[in-house]
Structure 1
Amino acid sequence: MKLGLIGVGNIGMHFANRLVAAGHEVRVYDRNAAALDRVVTQGAKAAASNQDLAAQVEIVLLSLPIPAVVLQVADEISQPGSKVRVVVDLSTTGPSVTHQVANLLKGRGIALVGAPVSGGTANAEKGALAVMTGGPAAAYEEVEPLLRVIGKNIFHLGEDPSLGQTMKIINNTLYATSMIASCEALVFGVKAGLNAKTMLDVLNVSSGRSFATLERIPQCVMDRSFPVRFTTELLHKDVKMCMDEAEKLGVPMQVNPVARQFLAFAISQGDGDKDNVYPIRHIEGWAGVQFGEAPKA
């Protein structure tokens, strides 16, 4: 297919590279010139702007950081002169803004498939993401082959484009809460005299395991590398969005807001652009111990 992809950052670049490798002709645009150059060297073709891209392709995928940007870009790519018929939003946009985007595009004859992803940059590179979609069945069926290039587990949750977004913010909120709880418990274990790696080995064959203990903490904290895979700021955005949407529906939440508060504190301490497991350092500082250690030179 001839496709457009807007947003080729830490995760979007893997979408571009995998789609190109699968034989698709991919037009890309990103305001970050370095990010754009990075995927052009892998075979993607750069567009001059969002509108320029929309004038060349009928299917556009979005991988953007915040809901307001998704809404702005949706408006730009649906102006007169656009060829776009279907938009696939791979961003975490949230249900409320997704309704706005869907209504905007529908009024201009364009179908929206909300398709947020989960699994992080490592799984994005391997094409092993979970993709949570919502949207018209015909549009979903048309783009499903593309989604199978970037994801392993594809779910169509219904005709409403916001359903995948609701599922995504639930997922990210549960991750945030379990990650922070895991960090607290593991730091406690170190302080009590347990070995960091042994604790993870035990947890990961026991009922306390989670994505945080299986992947994020072993890969990013044990060796103190903290590579940026998903920032604290973006995770906080998703959790806050979940709290706001739950409140709109009258669903009480008592535990998950504590995770949002901790992430907000970490951002206030300068951790916003760091990986979301980096704030374990605050818990370590309060406890006076460190979980894991950098490899010896």
Structure 2
Amino acid sequence: MNIAFIGLGSMGTPMARNLILAGFPLAGYDLNSNAVAAFAANGGKPAVTAQAAAAGADAVILMVVNAAQAEQALFDGGVLDALAPAGTVVLMATCPPGAVKTMAARVEKTGRSFLDAPVSGGVAGAEAATLSIMVGAPKAAFERMAPVLRALGDKLFHVGTEAGQGATVKVVNQLLCGVHIAVAAEGFALANKVGIDPKVILEILSGSAAASWMLKDRGPRMLQDDPAVTSTVDIFVKDLGLVLEAGREAKAALPLAAAAYQMFLATSGRGDGAIDDSQVIRSYDLLNRGQP
């Protein structure tokens, strides 16, 4: 199976490398020339445009930033027209379910298949090929692409037969992730307010019923003034925005997601959008102490 990979960012580059290591012929494209060079160094075939990467491919994987970029590549950038007539589009970016459904309908109208297949696991999961992949697609299309997807993640789920269902599972995941980070920051802020050592709080909570994966991962970084960036504040501004959009589409009330979104948005609005997402705690510090 000849595959085109569009979007060689911090996750796309290791994902593409894992496909190459698994033996799949891979052409790739990204707007960033350095990313394309890294892709070529990993054994991929670089292309000068997204359309050139997709020329005659059996499948194209889109690991772009958002739905707008996916639509631009597919419909304006010539990717869909360049794909083989019986080819498959695999959308792995985090996008609103409604936008995914619309995209899928346009792709399927041409006789090609569409997999709604967002991922979770971050850069570490992309590097180690341990991503969780949540697929909404007809069973036959899912089974055809399963060997490719298993080269990218060790947790592959067929969540439904319709495009948009994978995207919905992903936004639910991001809802919980964002709220868990925000509520952990809120808990630390309360402890700080009354003078309790946050290190003691972290140790207690990490071993109690209040523990969560996010607390154990982000909690230690919340206690640092300038932690290394593993996921930015702006990623959760984007993703919680998608959560709220999905809620509007489904007419589902999401008050906790809305509150968490406002805290990440406030942090970004002060110019801290590119710092580690654990630093949403700075917004709580400002609310409670009136200073950074």
Scaled by the length of structure 1, the TM-score of the pair is 0.89
* Aligned equivalent of 2:137: 135
Residues 279/99 of structure 1: CA separation in 2 closer, same or farther (3 Å cut) = same
Aligned residues: 288
Alignment of 1:10 with 2:10, yes or no, is yes
8 Å contact from structure 1 (residues 86, 110) kept in 2: yes
Q: Distance in 2 between matches of 1:150 and 1:202?
A: 36
Q: Distance in 1 between matches of 2:226 and 2:44?
A: 31
Partner AA of 2:206 in structure 1: N
Conservation of the 8 A alpha-carbon contact between 2:243 and 2:257? no
Q: Does the 8 A contact of 2:135 with 2:165 survive in 1?
A: yes
Q: Distance in 1 between matches of 2:43 and 2:225?
A: 34
Quick one: which amino acid aligns to residue 25 of structure 2? E
**Once the two structures are superposed, what CA deviation does each residue of 1:15-43 show, in whole Å capped at 9, x if it has no partner?**
01111122222211000111222222122
Residue 30 of structure 1 pairs with residue 30 of structure 2: yes
Q: Structure 1 residues 243-252 or 184-193, which shifts more?
A: 184-193
For 1:73-128, what per-residue CA distance to the aligned partner results, in whole angstroms no more than 9, with x for missing partners? 1213112x432600111100121110111011111121110111112111221111
Task: Please say if residues 136 and 159 of structure 1, whose CA atoms lie closer than 8 Å, have aligned partners that are also in contact.
Answer: yes
Distance 1:225 1:249 in 2: 38
Supply the AA of the counterpart residue of 1:206.
S
Q: TM-score, normalised by structure 2?
A: 0.91
Aligned-partner Cα distance in 1 for 2:151–2:286:
43
Contact 2:60 2:83 in 1 (8 A): no
Confirm or deny: 8 A CA contact 2:171 2:243 kept in the other structure: yes
The letter for the 1-side match of 2:84 is K
- State the SS of the aligned residue for 1:151: coil
Partner of 2:173: 171
Which residue does 1:147 correspond to in 2?
A: 149
Q: Cα distance, 1:176 vs. partner?
A: 0.6
* Cα distance change, pair 148–102 in 1 and its aligned pair in 2 (3 A): same
Q: Is contact 1:61–1:89 with CA below 8 Å preserved after alignment?
A: yes
Q: 1:223 Cα deviation (Å)?
A: 4.7
Q: Is the 8 A contact 1:90 1:117 kept in 2?
A: yes
Q: Tell me the residue number matched to 1:268.
A: 269
In the alignment, structure 1 segments of 5+ residues that lack a partner are 291-297
Deviation at 1:195, TM superposition (A): 3.9
SS at 1:215 equivalent: helix
> Are the aligned partners of 2:98 and 2:249 in contact in 1 as well (CA < 8 Å)?
no
- Alpha-carbon distance in structure 2 between the residues aligned to 1:258 and 1:159: 32
* C-alpha distance 14-163 of structure 1, shift in aligned 2 (>3 A): same
Find runs of 4+ consecutive structure 1 residues off by over 4 angstroms: 222-225, 285-290
Deviates more, 1:228-237 or 1:115-124: 228-237
CA distance in 2, matches of 1:61, 1:148: 14
Shift of 1:200: 2.7
Q: 1:103 to 1:129 in 2, by over 3 A?
A: same
Look up the SS of the partner of 1:133 in the other structure. Answer: strand
1:161 to 160, 163, 166: 163
Structure 2 gap ranges (5+): none
CA distance in 2, matches of 1:65, 1:117: 13
- 1:286: how far off? 4.7
Q: How do residues 33-182 of structure 1 correspond to structure 2 at under 5 angstroms? A: 33-75=33-75, 76-79=78-81, 81-83=82-84, 85-182=87-184
Q: Say which structure is richer in helix.
A: 2
82 and 24 in structure 1: CA distance in 2 versus 1, 3 angstrom threshold: closer
